Amino acid sequence: MAVVVSGVSKIYGSVRAVVAASARFDDATVSVIVGANGSGKTTLLHIIGALTRPTAGVVTHGPGGMSAEAVRADLGWLGHDTMCYGDLSGWENISFAARVRGLDAAVACQRADARFGLGAFGSRPVRSLSRGQRQRVALARALVHRPGLVLLDEPTTGLDSAGVDALAAVVGEEAGRGAAVILVTHDEAFAQRVGGALFAMSRGRLAARG
């Protein structure tokens, strides 16, 4: 799902979180937005995912445009909040996400285990897991329906080096099957490692990086 951002701004009172941002994010491509905390990256990601309306400007999804509801239905989202139920196990969270989408829960769990290695801790309540383990469960949940648009907000948070390696592989796989993958990070090394298209964001302003 290609995304075109045209002159998008977001203002909260006197705060200009995003200022006249314009960019194209292609499908089958990993696009990385790099910037410091507070630069507007997360706000822009919410706008791209049709989770927040812009104050000005337009975001177009797909060649003919899609409704906000259709975008959210085809969205794989990993934010600062894992969006997992803490009292449920990792497997239960993934199974629930699969059933909501009308998918086979057992098959979804098998795929998640193969990709994210959840077997050692997948049966434990998510609230008892480490930050990195919760992140892996959350990523598996977000990708259970093979979304056309994948948005990842600081996805390396809490991951050890092996987890970062696995994440890099998954990001490449998602783009390889045709998804538009957009992630935001302040980790320059990870950005260079996975990014097919690189952007920088500072004080709400977005610019492509050569």
* Tens-place pLDDT, residues 125-155: 999 999 888 988 999 999 999 999 999 998 8
Q: What is the pLDDT of residue 5?
A: 94
pLDDT at 33 over 80: yes
**Distance separating alpha carbons of residues 124 and 147, to the nearest angstrom:** 26
Residue limits of CATH 3.40.50.300 in the chain: 1-74+149-158+179-210
* CA distance linking residue 149 with residue 73, whole number of Å: 10
Give 1-74+149-158+179-210's CATH code, choosing from 3.30.460.40, 3.40.50.300, 3.40.1390.20, 3.90.245.10.
Answer: 3.40.50.300
Integer Cα distance of 109 and 101 in angstroms:
14
Q: In the sheet that 3-12 helps form, which strands lie side by side, from edge to edge?
A: 15-25, 3-12, 56-61
Reference 49, options 207, 186, 183, 187; nearest CA is 183
What phi and psi, each to the nearest 5 degrees, are found at residue 206? -105, 135
Using an 8 Å Cβ cutoff, are 178 and 199 in contact? no
pLDDT tens, 37-73? Answer: 888 899 999 999 999 999 999 999 988 888 999 999 9
Higher-confidence residue of 63 and 74: namely 74
Per-residue pLDDT at 24 = 94
Identify whether the C-beta of residue 29 lies closer than 8 Å to the C-beta of residue 180. yes
